[in-house]
């Protein structure tokens, strides 16, 4: 297990989006590309004609209800996303989403070329699948997520 939250409700440094009914949580160190990767996914989803929206950027509130991990956004930053070097932009938003997948953004590394299979992120005991995604701008991140987890988008 890579990481997670320990309390029933907590605010973490992460970005969350919804693509269709799939809730995606982007985690990683500061500057690892969470916001820009989430933004690229939203842009790619809209280009495909898919329904997609921002849940939260920078601070994401997580709570477990009914055996599901739900992401939402603190009111002061609702609908806002920071694009480093560009500024803060306002995006279409949803109030909350049930999380389906956690995406850990990281810089390319030979050490993580083939990450372990079956990694999870714990949301107060709820194990969510975790996908490592290099942030290198080389490929559409939504296509890479779709290739890895097509069942999230074929409902």
Q: How far apart are the first and last CA of the chain?
A: 27
Asked if 25 and 103 count as a contact pair (C-beta separation under 8 A), the reply is yes
| Cα three-residue angle 132-134-140, rounded to 5 degrees | 105
> Taking phi first (over 0 means left), then psi (-120 to 50 degrees means alpha), and beta for anything else, what does residue 27 get?
beta
Asked if 97 and 70 count as a contact pair (C-beta separation under 8 A), the reply is yes
- Per-residue burial over 114-133, b = 16 or more CB atoms within 10 Å of its CB, e = otherwise: ebeeebebbbeebebbbbbb
Residue 7 has a pLDDT of 44
**Which mean pLDDT values do the consecutive 10-residue runs of the chain (155 residues) have?**
54 96 94 92 95 96 95 93 92 96 81 75 92 75 92 81
CA neighbours within 13 Å on the CB side: how many for 75?
A: 0
Q: How is the chain split into domains, by residue range?
A: 3-152
Residue 118 has a pLDDT of 86
Give the domain 3-152 fold: Rossmann fold (3.40.50)
Residue 155 has a pLDDT of 60
């Amino acid at each position: 297990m890579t990481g997670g939250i320990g309390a029933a409700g907590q605010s973490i440094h992460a970005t969350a989006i919804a693509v269709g009914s799939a809730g995606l949580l982007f985690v990683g160190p500061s500057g690892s590309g969470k916001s820009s990767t989430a933004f690229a996914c939203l842009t790619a989803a809209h280009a495909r004609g898919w329904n997609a929206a921002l849940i939260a950027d920078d601070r994401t509130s997580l709570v477990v209800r009914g055996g599901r991990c739900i992401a939402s956004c603190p009111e002061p930053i609702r609908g806002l996303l920071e694009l480093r070097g560009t500024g803060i932009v306002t995006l279409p938003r949803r109030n909350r989403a049930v999380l389906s997948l956690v995406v850990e953004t990281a810089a390319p590394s030979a050490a993580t070329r083939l990450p372990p299979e079956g990694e999870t992120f714990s949301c107060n005991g709820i194990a969510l699948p975790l996908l490592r995604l290099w942030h290198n701008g080389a490929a559409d991140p939504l296509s890479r997520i779709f290739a890895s987890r097509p069942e999230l988008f074929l409902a």
